[in-house]
Amino acid sequence: MAKTQTKTAGKKVVKKKEKKNVPHGIAHIQASFNNTIISISDPMGNMLCWASSGNQNFRGTRKGTPFAAQIASGIAAEAAKEHGVRSVDVRVKGPGSGRESAVRALNAAGIQVTSIRDVTPIPHNGCRPPKRRRV
């Protein structure tokens, strides 16, 4: 016997995002060859906001460009300012071309960069890399 489902004709409750007052944060920049992702968190690691090149309507090979990283970093910085972030420690991960331009865009947006740290994972002879491309 199938149960009947009842639908309530009420308003959908939408939770409003709370604005935290965080003066200092951590900007995590993950720059791959295909995309750049900027995440800004508080010192405990709780996410405040994020932006990526693909999120800003860059598609295909344009996502990995320094210009796309600059635009995404500016958007993330503006969203972080709404949470009260005035200074960040930057942690950069990956070999992408958007590393430097993302840090410059954070600084240009009015957020003070206190330190820059490279946290790219480097294997101590771990997994075998993929075979070389023959073009």
Q: Model pTM? A: 0.81
Q: pLDDT per position in the chain (135 positions), as tens?
A: 566 666 666 677 777 667 788 889 999 999 999 999 999 999 999 999 999 999 999 999 999 999 999 999 999 999 999 999 999 999 999 999 999 999 999 999 999 999 999 999 999 999 998 999 998
Sequence-distant (6+) residues with CB within 8 A of 19 are 82, 83, 84
For residue 83, give the nearest of 127, 39, 135 by alpha carbon: 39
The CATH H-level (homologous superfamily) assignment of domain 24-118 is Ribosomal protein S11/S14 (3.30.420.80)
Spell out the domain ranges in the chain.
Answer: 24-118
